[in-house]
Amino acid sequence: MSHAKNPVNKTLVLATRNAGKIKELEALLSGLGFAVLGLGEFPHIGEIEETGLTFAENALIKARAVAQATGLIALADDSGLEVDALSGAPGVYSARYSGPAATDESNNLKLLHELNAVPEEKRACRFRSVVAAMAPNGQQLLAQGSWEGRVLAAPRGAGGFGYDPLFLDLELNKSAAELAPAEKNARSHRGRALRALLENWPDFWARAARG
């Protein structure tokens, strides 16, 4: 199959409806020269149940489902916040930490409540991201990245999404929500995972294009 006739060479589908995540991933993937679509472009794809016990399992579940449903290469990120004082929670349950109807605000409030009695020096945490690429022919690629920090006692900043207002980058002494988008992408777990993925992209692309 020639590259000119292979639609996977032109389009990537991001396995998410999260507008903040789509914006970050689009910026990180801009150098590839692909059309980047989110799940909003494919209303026939319903909610994908994340039944995995790890970020890698969930990323692969989402990427596989979207690649099969669209016939295009799918890229899925599963990420979350791991807090040492909470034995790694919320972890893979970060997006729904405060329940099935969780919002960023309710998740942040629950996290602050859980850490209410934990002193500042014991609030070590990290954002972790695993990114999976899946081709319609079943070829896959996984990469991961992490971002070390500390949970703040109160939100700071108006940017970002998720737990960004509570995540302190110790080197910059700024919350993730206080960073400009380009600055965040340069330091974030998702940015590191994407850069690791792109290092191995040529080999994956060759395997994906075989049809």
Domains defined along the chain, listed by start: 3-208 (3.90.950.10)
Place of tokens 């002494």: 173
Residue given tokens 């589908």 in the structure block: 13
Question: What order of strands is seen across the sheet that includes strand 35-37?
Answer: 35-37, 11-14, 73-83, 124-134, 140-151, 167-169, 174-175
Per-residue pLDDT of the chain (211 residues; tens, 9 = 90+): 333 344 445 788 999 888 888 888 888 888 777 788 999 999 889 888 888 999 999 999 999 999 999 999 999 999 999 999 999 999 999 999 999 999 999 999 999 999 999 999 999 999 999 999 999 999 999 999 999 999 999 999 999 999 999 999 999 999 999 999 989 989 999 999 999 998 998 899 889 887 6
Task: Decide if 78 is catalytic.
Answer: yes
Identify which of 180, 83, 171, 170 has the alpha carbon closest to the alpha carbon of residue 127. Answer: 83
Q: How far is CA 6 from CA 124, 185, 201, 205, in A?
A: 46, 30, 17, 11
* Among 77, 78, 164, 169, the one annotated catalytic: 78
Closest by CA position to 143, among listed 92, 93, 200: 200
- Cβ-in-10-Å burial (0-12, 13-18, 19+) of 81 comes to buried
Residue 28: predicted pLDDT: 80
Amino acid 9: pLDDT: 52
At 209 the pLDDT is: 81
Sequential DSSP letters for 49-103: P---SSHHHHHHHHHHHHHHHHSSEEEEEEEEEEEGGGTT-BGGGGGGTT-TT--
Q: Quick one: pLDDT at residue 20?
A: 82
- According to the model, what pLDDT value does residue 202 have? 87
Amino acid identity at 34? F
Q: What is the pLDDT of residue 7?
A: 43
| Phi, psi for 163 (deg, rounded to 5) | -90, 10
Position 10: which residue type? K
Could you tell me the two tokens for 145? 């990245």
